[in-house]
Structure 1
Amino acid sequence: MSNKEPDKKTESAVPKKSTNILLWIVVVIASLVVAIVFWNYFSHFNDSPFSGKADAGQFGDYIGGTLNPILSFLSLIALLWTIGIQTKELELTRNELDLTRKELSRSASAQEDTKKILDKQSETLARQQFESTFFSLLDQHNKALEAISTSPDVTRYSHVKLIYRSIFLESDFTNLASAKVALEKKNNVCGHYFRVLYQLLKFIAINAPGSTIGAALEADKIQSSDVLANEKMYSNIVRSFLGYDITQLLAINCYCTDANDTYWKYKLLIERYAFLEHMPFEVNNGGHPILNETKNAYEKNAFGNSEFITR
């Protein structure tokens, strides 16, 4: 762009230079014409034109009649030349405006491309930051899950299995409320894991790329906003680590009926991400009343496309 500017200035200076030359030519020609007319008069008429009023009048008529058409013609030529130069100047101006518009258009296009690149980079950076935290939390989740799912002694049950047996096999609980009371008494064993899982789901809901739920994690937004593809993908990754036993215990842990309950948002997240989709309703190949009650305790979306339920 900088290489073209001197050419534009040179082109713009040409009409001005031509105008100056034209003025000098007209002045010179006019002067010559005047001189020739005067010379012609005095060479043919030796008498002084000012010897009498009649002679002065004749002299004026001669000069006016001779010079006026010639000078008018020269003025017309100068005018036409000036119009031509002005036309060329206007054309150059239009060309410069066209070039300016093209440069501005290219500049705007370049700025738009730059904006798209920056937006893409910002989006990529945001996703990288999200995934860095997500996988860090997922690692903590898996460690917490492993801690309660692995038995230090092969002759003993794991913590999850012991709690599972106490709830479903060694007790006669017939409803979710009583089962949850019993599970809460085991909070010192499995409470840490359920809290880590809640924080992980909360992080996905608030920070997944494109999420509009917001840091306040309002219950109505959890229920009403669409589940984004990103949310579904990351929540499915988390869900894939949960076995049948822990999923059934999770259904008991998050059970509540009051919107003011501390577990209410946890329950909504379980429903939002269909965390009970792969939960069977049987214990030892037989249906269990506690698990059957979850069909009514949770919204349908909590079970997703479950193969274990027909509603």
Structure 2
Amino acid sequence: MDAIYKLFTNGKIDNLDPTTKRLASVLFYVAIGIIVFIVGLTVVDVAGHWGVATPLGTFGDFFGGVLNPILAFLTVIGLAVTIVMQRATISTSTLQRFETTFFNLLDLHNKIVDELVFDSKIIPDSAERREMLRIANVPPEEPEIARGRAVFAVILDRIAKAETNTVSRVEIYRERLQVENNHVLGHYFRNLYQILRLADRLKHESIDPETIQTYTAIVRAQLSANELALLFYNCLQGMVDRGEFKQLVIDYRILEHLPLRYDRSAKELYHENLPTESNYFREYLVAVPPGETAKHRVPAPLAPGAFGTNPKVHEFLLDAQLPILPVKK
């Protein structure tokens, strides 16, 4: 059928959504059926009058009576073919406009990263750490100005050094960066959100989901491990919005390459720069709908979600006796 799709779409087969492909298949088989029907009628009529001096006019009346409604129906088929061709053209145009905006936003993303600036005094050492350094007679670190991609590593380091038994890393991130100094990373994450949102809109344009995943994989490839760690903080519940950003991160498996470790004895996931509470990691897993659970005959209430094919997350789910459903692509 690929040859038929190419015929209908002038070679643009990859731009046809499944519905349009099914329509093209139906049109093809209907056309073949009509041709076979006409040939069959002709053979039957000729065979029935074989050797009989039947005037050609009689045969012409018979053929015309059959052919006229068929031609009318073929006109409808031709209109349907035109619709198929237009849909392929519209999809191509949609993708072209999308790609222009998409790669412009990616270019802006990289420029934003290059222009990031972070003053480490924004997140000072905790009182406990300062006291420990004083007792050890170790001079406090001089505040540094980080720029570009180095900003992410420095922020994570400062959050770790500001943590106390009463103030968690999540609270430090929220207060010091999200509330008091949103100018440091706010525009970076807003632009990243717009890139994912732009790709997500393609699902309303009859674009193949695998094509959308290809574009979001390009976004994922732009993010370093430190960026992924801060994205983890940024999309936690109540941090930036009502969960729209986190849902995009989950839907397109953006945290798939986050370097996680799995503590088998405690049966917990962890990362040296992330909070240790397991409930934060669970925010990025997804609950399996009851129908899906029944269909796969597993009792699992969770699937990998934002972590995609991350092997440590799969190990965690298996070890916790939570069988894993296939990752949707």
TM-score range relative to shorter protein: 0.5 to 0.7
Residues 164-203 of structure 1, C-alpha deviation per residue, up to 9 Å, x if partnerless? 2211245445352443323313311111101111111111
Q: Which structure carries more helix by proportion?
A: 1
Unaligned runs of 5+ in 2: 1-52, 120-143, 262-269, 286-303, 318-329
Post-superposition shift, 1:88? 6.8
Pairing 1:137–2:98 present: no
**Map of 1:191 onto structure 2:** 186
Q: Sequence identity, in percent?
A: 24
Q: Mark the CA change 1:286 to 1:139 in structure 2 (over 3 Å): closer, same or farther.
A: closer
Amino acid at match of 1:157: A
Q: Mark the CA change 1:286 to 1:117 in structure 2 (over 3 Å): closer, same or farther.
A: closer
Q: How does 1:227-242 map to 2 (within 5 A)?
A: 228-242=209-223
**Map of 1:97 onto structure 2:** 65
8 Å CA contact retained: 2:169, 2:274: yes
1:303 to 282, 303, 307: 307
Q: Mark the CA change 1:160 to 1:88 in structure 2 (over 3 Å): closer, same or farther.
A: closer
C-alpha separation in 2, matches of 1:288 and 1:123: 43
**Map of 1:180 onto structure 2:** 174
Q: Mark the CA change 1:88 to 1:231 in structure 2 (over 3 Å): closer, same or farther.
A: closer
1:161 to 153, 158, 162: 153
C-alpha separation in 1, matches of 2:242 and 2:171: 13
TM-score with structure 2 setting the length? 0.53
What is the aligned length? 206
Amino acid at match of 1:301: G
8 Å CA contact retained: 2:225, 2:257: yes
Equivalent residue of 1:277, what SS? coil
TM-score with structure 1 setting the length? 0.55
C-alpha separation in 2, matches of 1:91 and 1:207: 55
Amino acid at match of 1:190: L
8 Å CA contact retained: 1:278, 1:308: no
Post-superposition shift, 1:116? 2.5
Q: How does 1:38-187 map to 2 (within 5 A)?
A: 90-101=58-69, 103-104=71-72, 106-148=74-116, 157-158=146-147, 159-172=151-164, 174-184=168-178, 185-187=180-182
Unaligned runs of 5+ in 1: 1-83, 213-226
C-alpha separation in 1, matches of 2:115 and 2:272: 29
8 Å CA contact retained: 1:274, 1:302: yes
Equivalent residue of 2:183, what SS? helix
Amino acid at match of 1:271: I
